Amino acid sequence: MNIQKLVHEQWPAREVCPSHGWLLRYTGGVTKRANSVYPLGEPDDLDAAVAAAEAFYRARGEPAVFSLDDAASAGLDAELAARGYTVADPTLVLTRPLDGAWDPPAHPVALSGVPSDGWLECWWAVDGRGGDVELAAARGILTGVPSTYASIGDGPPDAVGRVTITDGWAGIYCMAVRPDRRRRGLGRAILAALLTAARDGGAATAYLTVVAANTVARSLYAGLGFTAAGGYHYRRNDDK
């Protein structure tokens, strides 16, 4: 599994600029995934490649951020560290096969091919950063590829999630439960419904990413059969 490739395709940036063999991604600063360098390989001139990336983000008023998974060059990680880039958001990649079994959702889950305003409001209230402009950019990311959107609750949902399938891989994104509705099994119900939708959609394996420090979410995912398969982190330099 190439997590960088899957995330790049399933969380699509608004602007993608090829540079020195890398892809520079920008979406108005909304999420690191869509505003970071995807280092496809080792450039012939590393200094020039890093300088070009820094100039790209500087021109857009954002810090230069690199997404580095376990397959990334150790030399690049070390070089960025030497340049003052700090580690941000160490993240685990978890997977589970979809040929097994899981308990059906314990709450009614609605599925849709588009995110409703209520779905967006719930997710943004839990995980959003910014105002209307940033929310519009996030909507563009979410609707950039065909996906299934799950929700629980009438009116503004109490819990939401999203799944996108690429080459047999189902990516689980946007898992969110309103703080005052937690510890009621809503997150588990959303995840179970997304796994079923993924299997019904022809996916063989599901994956998701979780910040390593988020032990509560990791416990939820482990309870539904997800195990660690790798990881990634970001390198960020706010001075560039």
Residues 118 and 44 placed together within one structural domain of the fold: no
Please give the full DSSP string across 169-211, using - where no structure is assigned: EEEEEEEEE-GGG-SSSHHHHHHHHHHHHHHHTT-SEEEEEEE
Whole-number pLDDT of residue 3: 85
pLDDT at 41: 84
Phi-psi bin for 225: left (phi > 0), alpha (psi -120 to 50), beta? left
Strand partners, 160: 151, 176
Mean pLDDT, rounded, for 36-49:
92
Report helix angle 132-142 to 117-127, nearest 10. Answer: 110
Whether residue 156 lies inside any domain: the answer is: yes
- Where b means 16+ CB within 10 Å and e means fewer, 33-65 reads bbbbbbbeeebeeeeebbebbbebbeeeebbbb
What integer pLDDT is reported at residue 130 of this predicted model? Answer: 87
Q: What is the pLDDT of residue 240?
A: 54
- What are the residue ranges of helices labelled H in 83-116? none
pLDDT of residue 38: 95
Please state the rounded mean pLDDT for residues 16-39.
96
Per-residue model confidence (pLDDT) at position 211: 95
**Does residue 227 belong to any structural domain of this protein?**
no
What does the mean pLDDT of the chain come to? Answer: 94
Q: Indicate whether 81 and 31 sit together in one domain.
A: yes
Q: Are 111 and 192 within one domain?
A: yes
What type of residue sits at position 90? P
57-78 residue pLDDT tens: 999 999 999 999 877 777 899 9
Are residue 123 and residue 77 in the same domain, yes or no?
A: no
Question: What phi and psi, each to the nearest 5 degrees, are found at residue 31?
Answer: 70, 145
Q: Name which residue leads in pLDDT, 112 or 156.
A: 112
Q: What is the mean pLDDT of residues 137-153?
A: 97
Residues 134 and 182 in one domain: yes
- Please give the average per-residue pLDDT across 147-172, as a whole number: 96
Same domain, 86 and 123: no
The percentage of residues in the chain with a pLDDT greater than 90, rounded to a whole number, is: 89
Q: Is 215 inside a domain boundary?
A: no
Tell me the percentage of the chain whose pLDDT exceeds 70.
100
Confidence class for position 155, pLDDT limits 50, 70, 90: confident
* Structural domain boundaries, residue 172: 100-203
The domain total for the chain is: 2
Same domain, 197 and 107: yes
Q: Are residues 112 and 150 in the same domain?
A: yes
- Estimate the crossing angle of helix 186-200 against helix 215-223, to 10 degrees: 50
Question: Based on the domain organization, do 56 and 147 belong to the same domain?
Answer: no
Label residue 188 by pLDDT band (50, 70, 90).
Answer: very high
Q: What is the pLDDT of residue 239?
A: 73
Is the alpha carbon torsion for 126, 129, 133, 139 positive or negative?
negative
Query: Taken in order 205, 210, 215, 216, is the CA torsion positive or negative?
Result: negative
- Read off the pLDDT of each residue in 87-101 and give the average, rounded to a whole number: 95
